[in-house]
Amino acid sequence: MTTYTPMIQQYLKIKAQHKDAFLFFRLGDFYEMFFDDAIVASRELEITLTSRDGGSEERIPMCGIPYHSAENYIKNLIGKGYKVAICEQVEDPKSAKGVVKREVVQLITPGTVMEGNMLTDKENNYLASLSAFDDGTFVVAYNDLSTGENHVTQLSGGLDAVISELFNRSVKEMVVDSKLPEQYQNELQQRLQITFSTHDNVTIQKEDEQLTQDLHQEKMIQAFARLINYIRLTQKRSLHHLKPAQIIDLNEYMTLDMFSKRNLELTETIMRKGKHGSLLWVLDQTVTAMGARMLKKWLERPLLKKVQIEDRYDLVEGLLQQFFERESLREMLKSVYDLERLSGRVSYGNVNGRDFIQLKHSLSKIPDIKNLLSTFASEKVQALSPTIDPLTDLYDLLEQSLMNDPPVSIKEGGLIKDGFDGRLDDYRDASKNGKKWIAELEQREKQETGIKSLKIGYNRVFGYYIEITRANLHLLPEGKYERKQTLTNAERYVTPELKEKEALILEAEEKSVELEYELFIQLREKVKAYIPKLQYLADQISHLDVLQGFATVSEVNDYHRPALNEGRKIRIEKGRHPVIEKVMQQVEFVPNDVHFDDKTDMLLITGPNMSGKSTYMRQLALTAIMAQIGCYVPCDKADIPVFDQIFTRIGAADDLVSGQSTFMVEMLEAKHAITNATENSLILLDEIGRGTSTYDGMALAQAIMEYIHDNVRAKTLFSTHYHELTTLDNTLDRLRNVHVRAEEYNGNVVFLHQIHDGAADESYGIHVAKLAKLPQQLIERATDILADFEQKDTPAKGKVTDDQQQLSFFVGESSEKKQKKDFKKLDTELLRDLQSLNIMEMTPLEAMNVLYRLQKKAKQD
């Protein structure tokens, strides 16, 4: 340190306190970065890397950005998962003795951004904290700093349950205990791919006690304290907009694990990771940012209480019945700005005049919305009107105080209306009259001197001046004015009288600007007192927006109100997949019925690839989710139960992040379903067992079906290419076979996408290969091989399946026979070890360890 200059020493001391963040070090009009920060930032921001002398022998790497355009650079870094510490000068350089004092005034992280251009309007920006306890429970606390929301939930299903919970939220950053086991930290980072921070203070501060008023468990208070203390540490400013923490009771919502949320593409698609093509994309007919965020939250947590769901149906029905009134409501809501985030900006202190105009404009629409709701025929819709507070006194305050088109800056005047403050009016009058006197002086001097081009101007260096061109200097009487400045083509002068007026005018303007800033700060403090009411109003408007969106999408797409039964029967008539029918608008979607009576728990679905098995399965799950968030559903008629959980194993792919193969992912998802499902759950299993050899896969598929049928008894859709499994309806009394119809016409297959009772009679695998335009030579060879196989006896019951054909084609028919012989040679003790294993109860790590031990033993034998 002693070899560096005092300024660089100061930089290094501050940087040592913020090692995991870029330090934006204020030097004049720039934020500078040095050493490694400069090297990385120059690469990430694509700015010039230079160097400077810092007192050491080697020059120090340096890069910088203008402070007035720093916001976009910060946004870029935050978007990439970095943190930025803003270090400002905190004393006047004129009065500083030595190096100007500097401090970090704010730490901006992915989970704590507040600036509008760094946030996505229709998504929450969550910061989460995780606390682990000795009894095996975890507590997760959430905060969205931009809206003030705080939530806490407790989980007891291990780290997998934590990951599924966090996967359901738009979490941008996580705060954990520095002593959290490294294994946990690594797995969380690998699976969630978000920014991690550590904080160990779990003592709630006095100023935050009111935020924990609804938390009755010490665990929850500690977990929330970790979160709020981290926010206080990083933000260093007012947080009056934070709402009391609300407990999320997971028993009140349908459980959707990360596999199901991903496989069903509820909020984003698997391939493109975007909203387009997801269920959210179809349902989002909201017209406010607040409503869009609430819809996403509802979709992530479908309800379990029938009364709450029916209440939403009633409101949707009331809004659906009156088209013109609903359209008027939509138009009014479009004029309501983001009240939640405006409240946050007021509390945070970064609100400006234009934000207040948006707030005023929004409040001006609330009385009209109240009146319109009271005109609906539905009593439930009418009942919403009296509960809405239009905050008339706040509207009046903003109307009386603010200019209609204020500037962005709050320090340059032009904010406050005339008549709002007497002192401000006096200053403005003095300034206005002074300028009028200047204009009159200019006319008088022109007449006295006869110089028509004479003018009185102003600049910040010399103040007011009289300017006369060189061509007219001979007309100016000697000694009339005092020379002030000489230009190439003119001379500038002043008079004692002009200087006197200048002092009065500038003083009035300076005091006017200062007073306007003071009045604006006072106004901000007055508005701050309304934040709880504004947040409640925002919640009401959000609910209304989501419900009108449900009514709109239901009318446009011909959705109908479902009936919720107390039993376990499912009857859907002409059900449709909401996303696929929207994407394929040029092609008519083929609807299908779904029927589970009290004697049926499982449908075994057979049929060729591309025929619609997965679509049929997904549309049932999406229909259930839509029903339980309070939306109408895509069918002619629906009578369904309330599902407590939905589990899916559809369309798995290699999980490269965690190093798991397709088959391992398949088994993990299947295990998760059968160990957590209840008889009130819905399970979708697509092509289980295809990731291994034919006999292994078929054996596993049958065992899983039998286990679910006998032990779990959840409503289950199971699709397969193993035609041998269709005979299970003889032994499993609550299983029913269905198939997807396909017809062969002139040597080509036509998929009808219709579900019928009974098992499929063919797989049409070669026809699908033909549709995929594989080489004709290959198609003909496969046809010959198929004919040859069908003439031979096979070791399995029934005829050869497509999977067996493909295995023989690529691997060789003798491989499975050889495999059987090899197994017979195994030592009997090794066989006993294998038979004693309970694979479905193992973690992946445990399975790998056991496999390693068995392999080692086999090699020794």
Q: Which residues are annotated as a binding site for ATP?
A: 607-614
CA-closest candidate to residue 553, choices 744, 188, 299, 268: 299
Question: Cα(448)–Cα(182) distance, rounded to whole angstroms?
Answer: 88
| Residue 195, strand partner residues | 173
The CA distance from 493 to 323, in Å, is: 72
Confirm if 341 and 233 have CB atoms less than 8 A apart: no
In 3-state terms, what secondary structure has residue 206? Answer: helix
**695 phi and psi, to 5 degrees?**
-70, -45
What's phi and psi for 739, nearest 5 deg?
A: -145, 160
Binding residues: 607-614
Give which of 829, 611, 606 is closest to 721, Cα–Cα: 606
Neighbouring residues of 106: CB distance < 8 A, sequence distance ≥ 6 = 85, 86, 234, 235, 236, 237
174 close to 194: Cβ distance less than 8 angstroms: yes
CB 672 within 8 A of CB 614: no
Alpha-helical segments (H) within 143-288 = 158-167, 182-192, 218-235, 258-263, 279-283
- Residues 6 or more apart whose Cβ sits within 8 Å of residue 61: 34, 35, 36, 38, 39, 49, 50, 51
The string of DSSP codes covering 796-834 is SSSSPPHHHHHHHHHH-THHHHHHHHHHHTS-HHHHHHH
Name the nearest CA neighbour of 444 among 431, 429, 455.
455
- Alpha-carbon span 430 to 424, nearest angstrom: 10
Edge-to-edge strand order for the sheet containing 138-144? 195-198, 171-176, 126-132, 138-144, 149-155, 246-247
Q: What is the DSSP letter of 560?
A: B
CA–CA distance, 114 with 82 (Å, rounded to integer): 15
Instruction: Provide the 10 A C-beta neighbour count for residue 404.
Output: 9
Instruction: Output the DSSP codes for 745-800.
Output: ETTEEEEEEEEEES--S---HHHHHHHTT--HHHHHHHHHHHHHHHHS--SSSSSP
Strands 455-459 and 602-606: unpaired
What is the β-pairing status of strands 592-596 and 171-176? Answer: unpaired
Give the C-alpha distances (Å, rounded to integers) separating 536 from 241, 243, 332, 387. Answer: 12, 10, 18, 10
CA distance 603 to 685: 10
3-state secondary structure of 300: helix
Residue 382 token pair: 């009418």
Q: Distance of CA 471 to CAs 358, 464, 467, 488, 491, Å?
A: 54, 22, 12, 11, 10
CA-wise closest residue to 283 among 295, 268, 271, 272: 295
Contacts by residues 735-739 (CB-CB < 8 Å, ≥ 24 positions apart): 735/600, 735/601, 735/602, 735/603, 735/604, 735/705, 735/709, 736/600, 736/602, 736/603, 736/604, 737/603, 737/604, 737/606, 738/603, 738/604, 738/605, 738/606, 739/605, 739/606, 739/607
The residue count of the chain comes to 861
Question: Three-state DSSP class for 23?
Answer: strand
Q: What is the C-alpha to C-alpha distance for residues 541 and 336, in angstroms, rounded to an integer? A: 9
Residues 117 and 149: beta-carbon distance below 8 Å: no
Between strands 171-176 and 195-198, the pairing is parallel
Paired strand residues for 207: none
